[in-house]
A and B are shown apart, each in its own frame.
Chain A
Amino acid sequence: MTRLRLTLVFLIAISLQLTVFIDIRVLGVAPELLALVAVLAGYFAGPRSGPSIAFAAGLLWDVYLPTHLGVSALIFAVVAYSIGSVEAGLFHDSRLQLAVVAALSTALMVIAYALSNEILGERGLIDMDMLKIAAVSGLFNAVLSVPASPLMRWALGPGPTRPAAAVNRPLSRG
């Protein structure tokens, strides 16, 4: 059932990214919804299952991007693992904290994506625009983390999760 709900979240994220957020851009930059799914997976599901969910989200995003398959999947999984591995004591029940984590992680993923693709032979990704994209998409994702986090918590359903996320959850698991 969790897989079905996660699939639904993936479908919603990719569909919104390919439709609404083609038009809705700030300074020409769209949010990175699949990256947000990866961040939330790391935050709520922890280092055990978070990276796998993030990997799947990245792979789905790679299917639509003109760059090489596997780049986003790799970056998303590593970042989700890092978020999930942060000591539980550092996390508190705070939307603001989640927004900050979403902003910083998204910016990091965007920069890592550009660097990785440059290393792999793509050209023109590293410039001042990259920093603008990292900053704006990070802020975008920080705002969107507020409505997205309940959806992600619902998708993950009851089951083992990181202690901090459990504190953050209204539907606490035993």
Chain B
Amino acid sequence: MASAQRAGRSRYRLALLVLTAVTLLSLDFRGFGPLDSAQSAVRDVLNPVTSLFDTVLSPVGDGWNAVFDYGDLEARNEELRRQIDEMRGDAIGAEAALAALERLQNAVEIDFKGDIATVAATVLRGEVGNFDADVVTLGKGSDSGFEVDMAVVTGAGFVGRLSRVDRSTSTVELISASSLVIGVRLVSTDEVGLGHGVAGQPRQFVINQGPSWPEGGNPELLPEIGSAVVTDTGSRYPAEIPIGIVTDVSTPDGLAMVVIVELSNDVGDLGFVSVMLDAASDEVPLRPVTPSTVVSLEIDPKLLDPDSGAGATP
């Protein structure tokens, strides 16, 4: 009898917990402000504790990396050596590589920061869980003027957007996240489209849609391989921030063009970044729809001349 009562009480408690969780979920879905503030406050309160742990235990992590990442380092060195050998041995290959390098430099030397103030920040840590590979945490937050949705960049270009800002830390959603859609412009053709990252491919970016995105494989509208891709003026972020270099263009099934871009930043290996202190536009990254192709309407003048008798039935 007593154990049945205990079981009943346990089930009742569990039901209350489930109800609480569902309530929190629904409030979170609606973007309930106080809930965000409460989470931010918890992270701010715990930040000194985690910082202390980080300071004390960082040699443990460093030691682990030294032991287990040594193989990776050797592999990387080996790959670099192989590339150098290839470039030395093949004059044509070297020339092509030089041209590619020049194009990359042209892309990254665009003065995208303009008059917008930037604040440098250290990347504190990468993914905290096992399912959030496209997120990093910065060591500065609202105290430094950061706001949600501000653009995060390096000298090489766009890194991501601030998705969460606490008092002394902030979280960046990286450009490699497939959920982060960015309005971009293809420099070689001036076409504007929407692009996003590819899951499991941290250096790849795909542009495959937009309000006037070319269809049908018109070769005049295909961007040059190696040409630059930058943020568009209609994007939520400041314009002309380099995204990367076009590496492949295709029109599968003869439909919308798919542009594959190699990102200019290696977002898996960030140490320092800059946050552009320019509040992001709330507008959707879309421009008014304008036709991207011009169809010439060559009409026989005889059809317009009523006296010509053209079109008249005999």
A interface residues with partner B (beta carbon < 8 Å)? 11, 14-20, 22-24, 29-30, 32, 46-48, 51-52, 55, 59-61, 63-71, 73-74, 77-78, 81, 84-85, 110, 113-114, 117, 120, 122-125, 127, 129, 133, 137
Contacts and interface: CB of A to CB of B under 8 A. Distances in A.
Interface residues of B, number: 51
A77 B60 contact: no
- Best-surrounded residue of A11, A15, A70 (most CB of chain B within 10 A): A70
Interface stretch (B47-55, B101-109, B251-259): B47-55
Contacts of A123: 178-179
A85 B10 contact: yes
Nearest to B10: A47
Q: Which 9 A-B pairs have the closest CB atoms?
A: A23-B61, A70-B24, A74-B21, A15-B53, A47-B10, A70-B25, A70-B21, A69-B28, A124-B199
Interface stretch (B35-43, B154-162, B187-195, B217-225): B35-43
B17 A23 contact: no
B233 interface: no
Interface string B163-182: 11000000101000011000
B7 interface: yes
Q: Is the interface of B mostly helix, strand, loop or mixed?
A: helix
Contacts of A16: 53, 57
A4 B28 CA distance: 28
Nearest to A12: B53
B99 interface: no
Contact of B64 (A24, A55, A68): A24
A81 B111 CA distance: 58
Contacts of B18: 74, 77-78
Determine the main DSSP class of A at the interface with B: helix
Contacts of A122: 179
Given A74-B18, A84-B10, A124-B179, 16 more contacts: A11-B46, A15-B46, A16-B57, A18-B53, A20-B60, A47-B14, A51-B14, A63-B43, A66-B164, A69-B24, A69-B27, A69-B28, A70-B20, A70-B22, A77-B21, A81-B10
Nearest to B23: A70
A133 B142 CA distance: 34
A81 to B, nearest CB: 5
B130 A137 contact: yes
A8 B6 CA distance: 28
B25 A69 contact: yes
Contacts of A84: 10
A98 to B, nearest CB: 21
A66 B135 contact: yes
A152 to B, nearest CB: 19
B64 A19 contact: no
A59 B27 CA distance: 14
A60 B178 CA distance: 26
Nearest to B178: A124
Contacts of A23: 60-62, 64-65
Interface string B1-38: 00000110110011001101111110111000001000
B30 to A, nearest CB: 11
Given A70-B21, A123-B178, A20 B61 contact: yes
B289 interface: no
B199 A24 contact: no
Contacts of A85: 7, 10
Contact of A22 (B20, B61, B163): B61
